[in-house]
């Protein structure tokens, strides 16, 4: 008999994935704070930048920028596999429910951008989630990997070709005016963005709530077809890598601690339960896979991102000046290095979470990850209230180092808050609403009694 799809229970969750989500939420917050207290295209490094700001920016650029939306995209793709697998196990059609889920996520994303912060990622995730589910859910692991590599290469190839074309134009005779025209085009684009930034600074720092909201909606539309469009291939690529990870069995999905206890209790005499043997062998293979990822991905990922951090490259300023080879090299180092470093983060946490001491350290992140949507939106609620004119009007007045510390301070509050919340409720508040709108039923928010 077909079972009705319903929200996953706490017992069915995989704690390591919740820990990874909680970790990803921290990294996303650290990066977003850079852009919450200043305009989107503002320079973070200038001649007057302090040593503390440079250090904070180096740490953010090296270890956080592009690594955590990449990590969260991986987890989104893994979540797609988990939901698809659950639907198949219950004999239910997967796609209609998932599409409703993405529609609701898009609504959350637009509301987030309009009401709190323009740097929303949820709307893009919803669009790409539909593409991933419709076009790639039945693809083989090999095909998913090939498509992921192609998608990661697209923006890197675009920047390389654009830079090469500009360098070739430098060879044209001066009287042709080719290079002069290119420089004029970049200068015009920069002047337009500088004017856009000046208007944003004025409105965000001193505008009313209605003025700021109207500007956020306009700015969101602009970014959706500029920055987000540039990010989209990389995000979709990580969706596919996460989907592939699910198909390849990177995580032991759907197995609970009680299942493990039953397996151990079922072992008797000199023989070992075959299911337990297979499970242990599978766990050994998973651990070895993560060690292999760490050995192969961490050294080049760290080296490439150290180059980006030491160069002081500012991704948000790309295109403000005439493209040069240093830009193409930095974008390539960041694009490839971010994938490698984010996969290294996955491997490190998966390995540490299985060790008793590592688990004790990482377990407090799991409740944060269980209500990742709520915590993500809460970042914007708190920081926009501190930044904008209708709140504390700190926009443009928070140094990079202070924003860096503020991110960790807010996250430190979210850890006990999330744990407190799940002591009283089954779902985070926005997670509960997401389920209501997706499944058309109202689950009880109270935790189930053991």
Instruction: Note the pLDDT tens digit of each residue in 162-195.
Output: 999 999 999 999 888 899 999 999 999 889 888 8
The residue assigned the tokens 């290095």 is 337
- The number of CA neighbours under 13 Å toward the Cβ of 96 is 6
CB of 242 closer than 8 Å to CB of 75: yes
Whether residue 269 is contained in a domain is answered as: no
Cα 337 to Cα 305: distance, rounded to the nearest angstrom: 6
For the chain, the average pLDDT equals: 90
Q: Residue 193: its pLDDT value, please? A: 85
The residue assigned the tokens 């050294």 is 299
Q: Residue 440: its pLDDT value, please? A: 86
CB of 64 closer than 8 Å to CB of 27: yes
Cα 446 to Cα 246: distance, rounded to the nearest angstrom: 30
Q: Residue 275: its pLDDT value, please? A: 59
The residue assigned the tokens 């080879």 is 325
CB of 12 closer than 8 Å to CB of 82: no
* 17, two tokens: 């994935």
What are the start-end ranges of the E strands in 303-360? none
Q: Is the dihedral of CA 222, 223, 227, 228 positive or negative?
A: negative
- End-to-end Cα, the chain, rounded Å: 27
Q: Residue 407: its pLDDT value, please? A: 98
3-state DSSP call for residue 254? coil
Residue of 450, 360, 448 lying closest to 6 (CA atoms): 448
Q: Residue 50: its pLDDT value, please? A: 95
Q: Is the pLDDT of residue 232 over 80?
A: yes
* 331, two tokens: 């974008």
Whether residue 18 is contained in a domain is answered as: yes
Q: What is the DSSP letter of 39?
A: -
Quick: pLDDT tens for 98-125.
Answer: 999 999 999 999 999 999 999 999 999 9
Cα 42 to Cα 182: distance, rounded to the nearest angstrom: 23
Q: Does an H or E element contain 192, and which?
A: helix 178-206
**Alpha-helical runs (H) found in 312-371:** 325-353, 356-362, 365-370
- The number of CA neighbours under 13 Å toward the Cβ of 82 is 20
* Domain extent for 286: 10-253+277-439
Q: How far is CA 176 from the centre of its chain?
A: 45
Whether residue 32 is contained in a domain is answered as: yes
Whether residue 272 is contained in a domain is answered as: no
Whether residue 430 is contained in a domain is answered as: yes
Name the domain count of the chain: 1
Whether residue 402 is contained in a domain is answered as: yes
Whether residue 86 is contained in a domain is answered as: yes
Of residues 221 and 74, the one with the higher pLDDT is 74
Quick: pLDDT tens for 341-392.
Answer: 999 999 999 999 999 999 999 999 999 999 999 999 999 999 999 999 999 9
CB of 378 closer than 8 Å to CB of 414: yes
Which residues have a Cβ under 8 Å from the Cβ of 194 and sit 6 or more positions away?
41
pLDDT over 90 for what percent of the chain? 74
Give me the helix-helix angle, 15-36 and 372-387, nearest 10°: 20
Q: Is the pLDDT of residue 259 over 90?
A: no
Return the exposure string of 51-74: e unless at least 16 CB atoms fall within 10 Å of the residue's CB, then b: eebeebbbbbbbbbbbbbbbbbbb
Q: Is the pLDDT of residue 12 over 50?
A: no
Of residues 269 and 170, the one with the higher pLDDT is 170
Quick: pLDDT tens for 151-164.
Answer: 999 999 999 999 99
Whether residue 268 is contained in a domain is answered as: no
Give the pLDDT band (50/70/90) at residue 278.
low
Cα 352 to Cα 360: distance, rounded to the nearest angstrom: 10
């Amino acid at each position: 008999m077909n079972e009705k799809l319903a929200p996953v229970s706490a017992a069915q969750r995989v704690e390591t994935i919740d820990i990874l989500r909680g970790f990803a939420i921290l990294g996303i917050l650290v990066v977003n704070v850079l852009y919450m207290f200043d305009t989107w295209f503002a320079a973070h490094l200038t001649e007057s930048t302090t040593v503390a700001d440079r250090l904070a920016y180096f740490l953010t650029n090296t270890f956080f920028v592009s690594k955590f939306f990449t990590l969260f995209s991986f987890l989104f793709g893994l979540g797609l596999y988990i939901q698809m697998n659950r639907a198949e196990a219950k004999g239910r059609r997967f796609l209609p429910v998932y599409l409703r889920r993405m529609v609701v996520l898009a609504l959350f994303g637009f509301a987030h951008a309009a009401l709190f912060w323009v740097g929303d990622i949820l709307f893009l995730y919803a669009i790409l989630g539909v593409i991933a589910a419709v076009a790639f859910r039945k693809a083989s692991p090999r095909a998913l990997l090939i498509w992921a590599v192609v998608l990661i290469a697209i923006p890197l190839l675009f920047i390389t070709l654009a830079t090469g074309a500009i360098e070739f134009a430098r060879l044209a005779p001066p009287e042709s005016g080719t290079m002069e025209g290119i420089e004029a085009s970049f200068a015009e684009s920069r002047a337009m963005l500088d004017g856009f930034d000046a208007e944003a600074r004025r409105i965000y720092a001193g505008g009313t709530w209605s003025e700021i909201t109207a500007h956020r909606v306009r700015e969101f539309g602009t970014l959706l077809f500029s920055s987000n469009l540039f990010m989209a291939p990389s995000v979709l690529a990580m969706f596919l890598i996460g989907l592939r990870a699910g198909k390849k069995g990177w995580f032991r999905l759907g197995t609970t601690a009680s299942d493990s206890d039953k397996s151990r209790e079922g072992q008797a005499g000199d023989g070992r339960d075959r299911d337990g043997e297979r499970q242990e062998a599978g766990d050994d293979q998973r651990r070895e896979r993560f060690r292999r990822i760490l050995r192969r991905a961490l050294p080049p990922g760290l080296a490439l991102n150290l180059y980006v951090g030491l160069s002081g490259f500012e991704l948000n300023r790309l295109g403000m000046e005439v493209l040069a080879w240093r830009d193409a090299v930095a974008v390539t180092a960041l694009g490839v290095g971010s994938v490698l470093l984010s996969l290294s983060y996955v491997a490190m946490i998966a390995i540490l979470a299985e060790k008793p001491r590592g688990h004790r350290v990482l377990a407090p992140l799991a409740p944060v990850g269980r209500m990742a949507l709520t915590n993500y939106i809460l970042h914007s609620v708190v920081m926009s209230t501190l930044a904008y004119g209708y709140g504390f009007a700190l926009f443009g007045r928070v140094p990079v180092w202070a924003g860096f510390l503020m991110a960790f301070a807010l996250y430190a509050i979210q850890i006990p808050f999330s744990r407190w919340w799940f002591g009283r409720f089954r779902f985070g508040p926005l997670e509960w609403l997401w389920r209501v709108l997706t499944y058309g039923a109202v689950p009880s928010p109270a935790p189930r009694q053991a």
